[in-house]
Structures are given as structure tokens and as C-alpha cells.
Structure 1
Amino acid sequence: MNNLSRMVSGASNRRNFRRTRVITACAVCLFGLAAVYFTAQWWRDRAEQQLESKAAETLAVQAEALSGILDKYRLLPPLLSREESIIALFDDPDRDMSEAARRKAIEIAGRSGAKEVAFLHTDGRVLATAGGLFTGNREEHVRLLEAVRQGRLGRQAISLDSEQRAYAFAFGVRQDNVLIGAIAVYVDFDPVEATWSLSTNPIFITDPTGTVFLTNQPLWRLQHLDTLMSEARTPGHYLVGGKVLHSDLTRHLPLLDWQLHVLSDERPLVTAAWTGGIIAALVSLLVGALAFVVVMRREGQLLRMRRDRAASLRLERLVRERTKALSDTNVSLSREIDERRQTEEQLRKTQAELVQAAKLAALGQMSAAISHEFNQPLAAIRTYSDNAHRFLDKGNTGTVSDNLTRISGLVDRMAQLSQSLLSFSRKPGTTVKAIPIAPVLDEALMLVLPRARKAGVKVETKIEGGPHRVLGGQIRLSQVFVNLINNGIDAIAGAGTENGQVTLTVCEDGDAVVVRVEDNGPGIPPERRDSIFEPFFTTKDVGAGIGIGLSIASSIVADFGGSIAVGESDSGGACFAVRLRAADASDIAAE
């Protein structure tokens, strides 16, 4: 009876345990499936955020890089259109200037790095080009010249095929406010695409028609976006070339009316989802195993001690194996996270180095001009300082105070001169007002006379009539005449001319005031007169100058609506005629 009751009780217990195991197994399966789904989704969302963040950084960096390149070339045609050598190409329509224009175009293209430079007649005919690219399409010239005739900067994206693409900037060449021609500069996009090729993400630009104009995917060039991309199974996913891409981030470039796109690969998202799902599955298995351990222990306690001990050993061994597998997986994941963090840190360092390199390049360009323009004020400051020491020893405090005041004034003008040079390097332009020309010349003479006396050169000023007032800025005009007088002193000293003399003559010529700076040095050969106002052109020995002074002077005078012409003086030396607009009664009253 007891055996029968024990058998019945054992059968009932086994049924209860089977029911408990079934319920526990179902609960663990449901928990595991939910955990796998939500964990995989969470890991995928995190990976998607990181992917979009990296793509957004790439989008921002490449948009700024493209804007920087276009800004560089956007300023080139207006600056070149002011050069006398370029105006001379269109000055006489009866002369064949095609060969001279072609040499000039090759020179500009070589210096600026442009893909092509072209000189165009007002009717769209090509005068000359550097390489003969992009000039066969007359329609593109008509569209560029339409903006040029309106006094605007013409701009147009041009493509002959997938290998010959450029963006053209065109500006009118004018003489006496009459349009006589145009200069077009074509921007080379090969360096941009070469930079994009370093990115693993597809990057491309589409024009308003949806055509891919620039990309790091060679087969996509000049293809329409609709023919390349088709929607995949979910919104935001695209099937391109048999590969699923994700997160089409776009930035509008309003200046060009272009769209900059960055696509990300779908595979990291799938990998992240699989990783999260595997981890959740392992955790669920661990939870299920623990649940079954509890059930089996209870069952083993009611059955027999041996089975309980054997079951416990088997379960503990199973837990150790599963825990080891989970630990190995966690170590692998930690190693992968560390590698990604190091990669991101290296990317940030590289970006910082690129920014610093750009800053050093700009500082190097400015340092040459500042060093050239500050030598004379520094010499004057030194002279005044030495004199102040001598007068102080003699007790002449009045003269010491005057010298210190002059030093303070020179320092202020040096600061304003630095501001002026920085403005010239970026974008010409300054405040124009009516000023007397005599104080301007006095300030210039104050800076150059010590150096002239040391070189044995006499400087004279002749003012015919007056007082003369011109439209301009006192500090920048003083800088112009300092450059011109110093050039005359250098020419006389370099040639060893005896009784060297620089003469400044001021006179009126209609509605203009002309200041002639003449010397009795060796003069400037006629074949070099067309090039002396170009940046970095110099006839001095190595180390004696960098050839930027006359270029700066020409730009300053042009900003004030004037001009500088070079010729020969009566004594055979050089003569620079600075022509400035005379101030009328309304300009003087506005002061």
C-alpha cells in the first residue's frame, strides 16, 4: 500500500514537474525572443546614430572644403580683370593678340592651378585659352557672358563627359567702364574627388536636374539620381549597384544650387543587430538555464540525493561553459569598441592637423607682406628712440616727449597698416573720404628720409597750386608713396648713381590730382613695364625684395578709383604717375 501510494505520489510529482518545466520553458522562450528582438533593435539604433553622426561630419567637412575651393577661384576673375596686361589684350580689336592671350592664359592657369583659363570676346568668340578645354560649347559662353554684360560674376557648371567637368567663373574686362571682353576661370574638381575617394561612404553632388556632377564613385558620374537609386524594403534605404545603402544625408549649397549627398553602408547596421541579438540570446539562455537549475534542484531533492547531486554537477558545468562563452564574447566586443574609439580619436587628430596646416599657410602668406612694409617704420622708431636717449641725457625733455609722441604715432600707423595688408589679402575695399594730399606726402617722407640720407639720395617735393584734396584713405595712400619712393631709392643705390634724387611733383589734371614719383636711376625697360604690378614680380637681387610692394600699391589706388602708370623720367630713370580722383565741394562738405 505504501509502495503503491509512493508510486502514485512519485507519478504525480513527475507530472507536476513536467508541467512546471513546460511552463518555465515557454516563459524563457518568450523572454528570450523579446530580449533578442528589442536588444537587436536597440543595438541597430545605436549603430545607426553613430553612422549618421559620422556621415554628418563627413557632409559638413566636404561642404566646407568645396565652398573653400570655389571661393578661392570666385575671387580670381574680378582681380585679374583689373590688370593692365589683360586689358591690353582686348584694347585694340584690329590687332591679333591671340598668341599673347594664350601665353597669359597658360601663365594664369599654372599659377592658380585652374583647370582652364579662357579669354572671350563680348560676342562669345574665344580669343585664347590655356588648354583648349570647354571652349567648343558656344551656348555655355553665351550663358556666362549674359551675366558678365549685367556686371555680375558669371558662373556655370560645365561637363563634356565624365572626365571633363568643371565649374566656370567669368567676369568682364572693362576699359573706361565699357565692356571689352571677359575672362573665364574653370575650376578643376579632380582634387575634390580625390579627397572624397579617401572616404568609405559614397559622396556625390547633384545639380538642380538631379544629375550626379561630382562623386567618388566613377560609374555614377553624369548619371541621373533616379536611374542609380531605387527604394529598398523600408524608407530611407536605397539599393545602389546591388548594395543596400542607408541614411541619405543631404546639404543644400545655395550659392551653386547643388545638393551634396552622403550615403552610408547598411552592413554595419546588420552586424550590430546580429551582435545585439546574439548577446540577448546568450543572456536568455543563461536565464533559462538558471530557471531550469531551480526546477531540477527541487525535483532532485524530492527524488533522490544522487540524482540531485548529478543534476547539480551537470547544471553547474553547463553554467560554467555558457559563462565562459559569454565572457569571451564580451572581451571580443570590448576589444572592437576600443579599436573604434582609437580610430575616431585618430580622425579627430587628423582633422585638427589639417586646420592647423591651413592656418600656417595663411600666416606664411601674410608674414612676407608685413615684413616688407614694416621695415621702414621700425627703422624710424629706432632712430627716434636713439635720439630720445641722447636728448634725455642732455636734459632736453621737450624733444624727448616729441620723439616719444612720434614713436607712438608710428606704432598706431603700423597697426593700421597691418589691418590694411590683411584687408588686401582677403578682399580689396576701404573707406573713401576727402583728404589733403600734402600731409600724406609728409608722412611718407618722414618714413623714408632717414633711409634716403643713408643711401645718399635727395628727396624733393614740388606742389603746383593747391591745396589739393583727393578721395582716399590717408594711411593707405601714405603706404603707396612709401613703396614708390623706396623703390626709387633702391634703384639709385643698386645702380650706384651719383647725386641720386627722387622728386615728387603734385599737379591737377582735369578732375584728377596726379602725383609723379621720378628718380634718376637706371629706369625700367619697356618690356618689363607690363609685369611690374604683378604679385611677386621683382627686378631686385635675391633677398632684396619679394615683389609685392607695387602690387599692393596698385590695388590700393584702384580701390580709391585711381590708377598708377609707369614710364620714363626726363633724367632717364623711372616715373610712376599716381592718378587720384580730386575731391569736389560735396565730398568736402560730407566730412
Structure 2
Amino acid sequence: MTDETNHTQFESGHTVARRYRRRGRAVLAVAVLTGVALALALQAFAGRSALSDVRASANEALALQAATVTGILEKYRLLPPLLARREDIAGLFDRPWAEENRAEAARKAIEIAGFSGAKDVVFADAEGRIFASARKIYDRSSVQETTLFEAAGQGRLGRETRSLDADERAYVFASAVRREDKVAGVIAVYVRFDQIEATWALTAMPIVVTGPEGVIFLGNRPEWQLKSLHGGAEPLLEPAGGATGDLFRAPDGGLVIQAVRHLPLLDWRLHVLADHAPVTEARWLAGVIGLLVAALMGITGWFMVKRAEAVNLRMRRDRASALRLERLVRDRTRALSETNASLAREVDERTRTEEQLRRTQKELVQSAKLAALGQMSATLSHEYNQPLAAIRTYADNAQAFLERGREQPARDALSRIAGLTERMSELSRTLLGFARKPGTAISDVRLSAVVDEALLLAGPRAKKAGIMIRRTDVDGDLVVRGGRVRLTQVVVNLVNNAIDALSGIGTDRATADPEIRISAHAHDGDVALVIADNGPGLAPGDQEAVFEPFYSTKGVGEGIGIGLSIVYTIVKDLGGRIEAGESDMGGARFSVILQAGDRVRETGDSALAQAGT
């Protein structure tokens, strides 16, 4: 390609165009020859494939319909022998022409035909004369006129095809009735053909049955009944060739492929005629596809030649343009490299800033917890001083009891001292757990344990302020997804916020009969923790703004406005949400909606303490 390109740089445009025109004509000639050869090859292949499919379809239909015919006739094959052995029916042949016997025989024939679905049931005497039948279709004929009587007399099952006309066609099974080792008569069961033809009515392919003479007596083409299919003066099908001799021309002029099966027990031949049109259509379609493929190849080759010509003619112009483009790309690349370096520096700086922001946020959350502990320190010290004073008193009492030799009162005093120390230990553990930095793991946490810890921390402050905290409907089995320390901080912050509002911080006066209610319930597959009070409540404009950082309704020096913002951040990190509104007591209501965990009861508080921080 390089040598040809260098050569065309020294040729005139007219010479280049003439050379490529010759190439284009050669491509079109090759495309025409290829199209003819490809069309013929595809036609032969598609014809063989379609013919094989049509034959397979015809053979499949042939096997199915053969099974259908034999299945329907097999149902009636054993009926005449069974009837001939019935004593109540055989007794009718003792005096067949007696009036009462004929009436009874007719009644039984009608009953048997009705139950079995046969076309007719016929009782004939020893001479073949019919003395009773179910539908009187064949009463004017004699069974002795057929081979049925002879076969029945020999102890065999007689069978024969009866075709009185195109409408009265049936297959007959006959068996002899013997009385005292003599043939007393014949029972014949006529099987209707309309049952078989009904199963073929929805089949598009012609299906016919011929007897030994080649005459059609059964099929789904009524106009072909009682006509010769192949032989005779006017056969319905004319041979049309074919490699296997199965191609014929139908009466309507179309070509059909014949599949034949001999039914030896019936001495019938079952014919299925499949339409040859799919083979012709497949050959025609394959030829068209071959020509289209060749045309596409020719057009593609022509355009490739024209494209190569255009490329060669533009080569000299493009070379100059390429040199200018290279210089432009070099300049742009230098500018982009400088821009990328600047962006990399900005990304690094933003990453450091975000990391610093996250650290500051964690420190702010921890500071808020420590501030809450400082706010509750006075009441918590009272919670320690009371047990200490009681311990001193019980210790003095125990010493006095021991000096007097009264051991049982001394043991009681020591037991009370142990209970008080356990209470102080639990308070210390709660304070230490609340003060440490929370982790980030999320696990199942029992909600009642979280509320217990929060009330252990915030309860003394509420008690000192004269505020009643009512805990209602906090089911011990409610489990949420979260961290125990972080959820405890959420409840502590919300309770402290309610205590501030009820104590008059940020308002003109304290609330009379202050009350805080804590409840929890299942909520649309989640768990909702509700903390409500009867304080002054929130203004409509403050219900969304209270969760913003540094937003506060309190006075100067009474708060910095980060408590509810921290609550919002923690709940969001745990995959939940918090909503503010008006409580049914007239004050504020905060609903913390968390993901529900497994509703299982932990075996102990130690297991809950390890469930996550």
C-alpha cells in the first residue's frame, strides 16, 4: 500500500481515475458470476432441506394418524365377542323372530350403541337375517352377504369395511353367538367413520384411507370419497416424478408429496399428502438470497474501489493537512497535560479537606456527648452521693449489729450495700460506654436496652427538674439495626432537648406539669421510636430547620444548635430517618424511624453489649 501510495503521488488524477474504473468493472463482473453460482448452489441445498422437512412432517403426521385410526377401532374390537358370551344376550337368539325377543333385542342393541358410541349394533340369526338393530341403518342388508358371517361361523372375529354410499360408511366387527355348540346367530358392531374424520378435520394436509381396490372410503376431503386415488380410469393423483417416486400432481394442479403406511390388520393403506409448495418457496427464496448476497458483495466491492480511489486522490492534500494537525495536536497535548496536573492538585486538596471535615465531624459528635455528660454531671453526682450516704449508714448499722451479736440484721445491711454498689457500677459502665468514641459497625440492637441506658443517663436531670418521663409501649422484643452507643446518644440528645424546652430554656417560662413520653412501635416494616413532650412545641417553620447545624431557638449562651444536627447525622448513617412534628400533648414530637432487625430476644444483657457500638 505504501509503494502504491508513493506511486500515485506522481500520477495525474485522470490516470488514477481510469485505473480504478477498470478495477470497478472487474469487481462487478466477478459479483455477477458469483451471484449466479451462489444462487444455484443455495437453491439445490434449500430444496433438499425443505423436501426433507416436508417428508419428515408427512411421516410424522402419518404415524400419528395411523395410531389414531387403530386406537379408535381397537376400542370396538373386543365388544362383539364379549356380547356373544353374555347369557342374557345369547338367550335372545333361541327364538330370534319372536316378537318379545325382537323388542328386547332392539332395546339392548340401542343400550349398547348408546354406551359404546357405535354407529349401529346388529343382531342377525343363523341365516344372516337381521332381526334387531340399534339404529336400523343396515336392516335391509343381510350379514350373510358379506365375509363377516363366514368368519364368525369359523370362530374368528369377522371384520369388514361397509360403504353403502358416501354418507353411510362404517367398519364392522362381528362375532358368532353359539348355543349348544351351534352357531345361533351373529352380533355385528358398526364403527362410525365420522369420529376418525372429525380428528382429521383441522389438519391442512389431505389424509385418506384406501381399501385393497385403491378406492377412497375415508378421509378429510369429502369430494374424494369413493374415488380411485391412483389406479382406475380417472385417478385423483398423477405421478410427477421425484427421486423416490413420492411426488404427485393433485386434482387442483398443485404438487404433493405422498407418505403411505399399510395397516395389515385392517388391510387398509393410509395416505398423507403434504404440500410441495414449501419446497418451491424455499428454492425461490434461496435463489433470491444468493443473488442479494452477490449484489451486496458487488456493491461493497464497488464502493471499496471508489473509496480507495478517493483516498489516493486526497493523499497529497491530506499530507499537508496532517502536518498542520500534528502541530495543533502537539500544542493541545501540552495544554491538556498542564490542565491535568492542575486538576490532580485540586483533587488531592479536596480529598485532604474532606478527610479533615470527617475528622472534625467525629470530634464534634464526641464533644457533644462530653458536653451532654457535663450538663448532666450535677445530677449524676447526686446519683452517686445518695448510694454512698446509704452505704455509710448500712455499714455503721452492720457494725453495730455485729457488736451485739445479731448476725441476720447485719447480713441484710451487707446485702443492701452490695445492691447499692451494683447500681453504682452499672451507672459507671453506662457513663464509660457513652463517653467512648462509637464504632461504625451496624448490627441488631434491642431498642429497650438503648432506652434503659439513655434514661439512666438523662433520667436524674429530668428528676431534678421535676419532669415526669413516661415510658410506654417499648416492647422488649423490638430489635433495630444500628450501634448501641450511637443510638443511646440519639435518645439522650432528644430527651435533653425535651428537658431544656420543658425547663424554659429558650422560652419565657417553664411548662406546668412537664411530661416526656417515650414509645416505640412497628412502622411499615421498620421500627419507629417516638419522643414527645407537652412543652411549647416547634413553630411550623422550625420543624425542618432544627436539624441544620448551629440552628437554635435558645438564647445566647444556652446552646449552639448542634444537638439535633448530630442526631440527624447519626440516624441517617444508620440507614434511618427522623421527623419532627407536633405531639398529641401539644408539644414537640420527634419520630426516629430505623430499620427493623430480627425479632429475637437476646439471652442476656452481655450479648446485647457485644452486638455493636
TM range (shorter): 0.3 to 0.5
TM-score by length of 2: 0.46
Report the TM-score when normalising by structure 1.
0.47
**Pair member with larger Rg:** 2
